[in-house]
Structure 1
Amino acid sequence: MEIRNYRAVVLLLMVAYFFITVFNTLPPKTNWVIPKPKRVSQPVEPSFLASQQSITPLTNTKHFLVSAFMDQRVKGFDARIIGIFRRDSIHPLHCIFFCAGFLSETTSASVLVHSDHFGFPFGATDVLCSKPENCNATHVTLLTKQNPVNISDQLWLPIRNRKTHNKETRMNFTVCISTLFGDYNNVLQFTQSLEMYKLLGVNRVVIYNNSCGPELTRLLNGYSQEGFVEIIQWPINKYLNSSRGWKVQVDKGDLQYFGQIVTLNECIYRSMERSRYVLLNDIDEIIMPYQHDNLNSMMEALQPKYSKVAEFLLESHVFPNKYFEPSGRFHLPQWSNVSGTNILEHIYREDPDRKIYHPHKMIVQPKLVEQTSVHEVLRKFGGRYIVPWELCRFIHIHVARRTSLKLEQLNEDKRLWDFQEKLIPNVDKALKRAGLLTEN
């Protein structure tokens, strides 16, 4: 009996020792969670699924995705997808991330249609997504079902603005040109504007190209190769009937002005981590400082007092293109066969009618902007400052706005001439590089 008791005690001690040993090898109690199964067991190669397009149809919807960015400025969200949504067809959506080797679980998406859609059926839209913890997300897409059976037909958007070790050199100024369309071919003015921006301190110009003429294509290719111009192909009419204006009653179509608001927002986010300021304007406009030699010195003067300003609003002053400087001083023979407007020949400026609404254009600090329209920021994390027109304004070579004004009622403004010594040879060089300058 004593022997049996002894054996029982030994057996109990051995069992106790086993459990103590196993217990001590377990991780801390906070990690006692059985890993949830992956929704997709097979390995996923995002390079085969990543969208290579600037406009990506969203499967099983009437919507389109443009680009995705890391954005943690809004509490509870980590990523923002910029898209074009059919406003009357918005249903619950779910975000899913590719997390450097596996797929995340789905999370609910928050859909924000921009308020400036001008009544068109489609509008610029933000989709906010939160990613699961411990997900090193590189790609994201949206799903119409929380637990889809098959996601193999999904196209994934690469996530921009992620914190990586390979950071671009930070720039001071980026110009965003919303859309080129209608086989635009104003080569001379385009070249002059780009070279003026170089002289004013702009580091890069981003252009969304729907269509342009063959000469302008050659010119842009040269600027793209040197890195000054970034061209984003924008085939919006492949997917939607784009309007050529912003009045839905007059300019029929699915989306305002070739998706102008979409591209301006996309450009702000594209530039957010690489440019201190972003200029939002059309290619026939030049933001011109009148009391400083360049944009850098002007913004350095404003920054100490207005560091928290998200949008700097500037007046646009029209220089009617029907009036020419009478001496013909800048009617240069080498430009006679180059298509387009010569901005140096237009020195007569309208004063805007300030008794009525006068739309501004903007310089913005992208990190303080959440959503923008064409003439004002819609949602922001900072303030607004209207820049005195005597300090800086837009030079806009355009059809006269105030048609009742006669020539003698316009103001003579030769500010562009201050740059002519450098501007003219630089324009010649760019035109020659594109094979567009005729030797005389």
Structure 2
Amino acid sequence: MRVIYKLGTAVRCWRVHINVQHSVLSAYLLYFIIYTDSKLREDLSSLQKSYIYIKPSWGYNNSWRQIGSKEKHLIYSAYFDDRLDVIETINDHKTKVPIGTLRIIAILPREFKEAITCTIRFEDFVDKSVPIGKVQPLNEHHDYKYAAYSIMCPLYVNRNSTTIHLPQSVAISYPSNRLSQLSPTFVPINYPRDIDQLFARSRPLVSVCVGPLQQNYSDVLRVAEFVEMYRILGTRHFYFYHLSASDEVMRLLRYYQSEGIIDVLQWNVPAELLSQVHYAGIMAQINDCVYRAMVVDNYRYAATVDLDEILIPLKHNSLAFFLRQCDEGRTSAYVFRNVFFFKLDSNDSFSLPAHTHNRFLYTQMKVRRTLEVMPTHQRSKCIVNTQSIIEMGNHFVWRSVPGYTETTVPLSVGLLFHYRDQCINCKAPLMVDYTARRFGSLIWDRVDETCGQVFTESGICVT
């Protein structure tokens, strides 16, 4: 028995020894693979930047276009993304070099199962087909029949090239849609406004992505307050997506557009599709906007919010100062937790200046908010580092570039002030919060000045 016991012990020890050796070997192998891949991407990135690039002529504005013969299959936009770390597997790097990817925003059936081919067109009308296989819908489709898609087509060039002619447009095709193959629906590829910014370091500026204006949106005063408040908070630019809005709202947006403050993008989702895709295709809009801010304008930051949401810094004078002091470079998103202010709650006009023409601003008249702060990812909103985003959600980041992580903003540092027309829980306990009034000396005057410039006859932005 003793001999058998010792033999058994010896066998067990040997197995442990082998397992340890195996674990060490696996660790070394994993490290070698990661190191080799990292070194390869670093070398390819240097080669990528060594080429001379010729950008084609292109149009900035986009609109939804039907793909082939399928009325509810739509394509909206495409972006040249120079980030090589979004490519999961790099192929044929000894003969070909990846110079980036094309990111395509589309709407397709949620259960779409077909293999897709990208058709890339150059300015001389030469086409190149790139099979990319099956694709997955963006998250948060809420089980609607149709969903938003963010489709990636890799771009490779011959390694010994010197001058690269960048493609002008791109289309997608698939077997069941024969017309998509015979007569592809091309959309222009978006590039930086300035070609010199193609591989430049992102500018540390904050932009704002606004959810689609729909159902003939008509609250002009809220739009003016929203824009002026975020400008006070240090944001540089706004992206509005227009499905339907009143003439007065469009008049205000055209004024801001003439001042170079906002871009207004057409969001012409067909009426028959609106009931079959979540919230007018908002997931496509959010992801389009983040890529637009990153690629076209080279903004490092984008806040993804709705018109009734203000991201409020509590320890900094502006969002720009907050990011300047807190961003260490590897954060994909700063998540602001949500508190509600309700329209049905009583107004507090104590600080209302006597000379003010536009006499109802949510941020100044509503001073009681919910005591409960909602958990992270429940109605929260974000400021994202655009360079880190692969797939953006409504309330948080779904996929980011490896090495980036999401950060929840501490309650003492910032909150999302959500000014709801309808209360979620009308009996929820409330507390007084005057934080937004610290901007009152500016916001009242700025809104009055803007409304006076746009509506010269009355000086009033209607609600």
TM-score (normalised: structure 2): 0.74
Of 101, 117, 121 in structure 1, the residue corresponding to residue 124 of structure 2 is: 101
Q: CA deviation at 1:328?
A: 4.3
* 3-state SS in 1 of match to 2:249: helix
Indicate conservation of the 8 Å contact 2:172/2:185, yes or no: no
Give the structure with higher Rg (CA): 1
Q: Which deviates more from structure 2 when the two are superposed, residues 202-211 or residues 87-96?
A: 87-96
* 3-state SS in 1 of match to 2:273: coil
Q: Provide the residue aligned with 1:182 in structure 2.
A: 215
Indicate conservation of the 8 Å contact 2:348/2:367, yes or no: no
* Within-5 A mapping of 1:111-126: 111-126=135-150
**What is the root-mean-square deviation of aligned Cα atoms in Å?**
3.0
Of 328, 333, 345 in structure 1, the residue corresponding to residue 365 of structure 2 is: 345
1:265 paired to 2:298: no
Q: CA deviation at 1:54?
A: 1.4
Q: Provide the residue aligned with 2:383 in structure 1.
A: 363
Deviations 1:273-302 (CA, angstroms, capped at 9, x unpaired): 321111011111111101000111111221
Deviations 1:297-323 (CA, angstroms, capped at 9, x unpaired): 11122113xx21112111121112222
Of 104, 107, 114 in structure 2, the residue corresponding to residue 81 of structure 1 is: 104
Indicate conservation of the 8 Å contact 1:174/1:205, yes or no: yes
Amino acid at match of 1:228: I
Q: CA deviation at 1:145?
A: 5.8
Amino acid at match of 1:372: M
Q: CA deviation at 1:373?
A: 1.5
Q: Given the superposition, is the C-alpha separation of residues 74 and 194 from structure 1 closer, same or farther in structure 2, using an over 3 Å criterion? A: same
Amino acid at match of 2:260: G
* Within-5 A mapping of 1:123-272: 123-133=147-157, 136-144=166-174, 153-161=183-191, 165=195, 167=197, 170=203, 172-238=205-271, 240-242=272-274, 253-272=275-294
* 3-state SS in 2 of match to 1:78: strand
Q: CA deviation at 1:402?
A: 3.1
Amino acid at match of 2:189: I
Q: Provide the residue aligned with 1:63 in structure 2.
A: 73
1:412 paired to 2:412: no
Q: Provide the residue aligned with 1:372 in structure 2.
A: 392
Deviations 1:34-59 (CA, angstroms, capped at 9, x unpaired): xxxxxxxxxxxx98x98974111111
Number of residue-to-residue matches in the alignment: 375
1:391 paired to 2:413: yes
Of 425, 444, 447 in structure 2, the residue corresponding to residue 402 of structure 1 is: 425
Amino acid at match of 1:235: N
Q: Provide the residue aligned with 2:344 in structure 1.
A: 322
* 3-state SS in 1 of match to 2:337: strand
Q: Give the gaps of 5 or more residues in structure 1.
A: 1-45, 243-252
Give the Cα–Cα distance (whole angstroms) in 1 for the partners of residues 459 and 143 of structure 2. Answer: 51
Amino acid at match of 2:284: V
Q: CA deviation at 1:93?
A: 2.2
Amino acid at match of 1:236: V
Give the Cα–Cα distance (whole angstroms) in 1 for the partners of residues 208 and 446 of structure 2. Answer: 19
Q: Given the superposition, is the C-alpha separation of residues 439 and 144 from structure 1 closer, same or farther in structure 2, using an over 3 Å criterion? A: closer
Q: Given the superposition, is the C-alpha separation of residues 51 and 283 from structure 1 closer, same or farther in structure 2, using an over 3 Å criterion? A: closer
Give the Cα–Cα distance (whole angstroms) in 2 for the partners of residues 78 and 184 of structure 1. Answer: 36
Amino acid at match of 1:292: H
Amino acid at match of 2:132: A
Indicate conservation of the 8 Å contact 1:174/1:279, yes or no: yes
Deviations 1:102-128 (CA, angstroms, capped at 9, x unpaired): 423311024231132110011111222
Q: Given the superposition, is the C-alpha separation of residues 59 and 302 from structure 1 closer, same or farther in structure 2, using an over 3 Å criterion? A: same
TM-score (normalised: structure 1): 0.77
Give the Cα–Cα distance (whole angstroms) in 2 for the partners of residues 344 and 150 of structure 1. Answer: 53
Q: Given the superposition, is the C-alpha separation of residues 150 and 401 from structure 1 closer, same or farther in structure 2, using an over 3 Å criterion? A: closer
Of 85, 92, 100 in structure 1, the residue corresponding to residue 115 of structure 2 is: 92
Q: Give the gaps of 5 or more residues in structure 2.
A: 1-55, 91-99, 159-164
Give the Cα–Cα distance (whole angstroms) in 2 for the partners of residues 384 and 262 of structure 1. Answer: 21
Q: Given the superposition, is the C-alpha separation of residues 132 and 276 from structure 1 closer, same or farther in structure 2, using an over 3 Å criterion? A: closer
1:292 paired to 2:312: no
Indicate conservation of the 8 Å contact 2:286/2:392, yes or no: yes
Give the Cα–Cα distance (whole angstroms) in 1 for the partners of residues 223 and 303 of structure 2. Answer: 16
Indicate conservation of the 8 Å contact 1:105/1:132, yes or no: no
* 3-state SS in 2 of match to 1:267: helix
* 3-state SS in 2 of match to 1:95: strand
Give the Cα–Cα distance (whole angstroms) in 2 for the partners of residues 277 and 114 of structure 1. Answer: 21
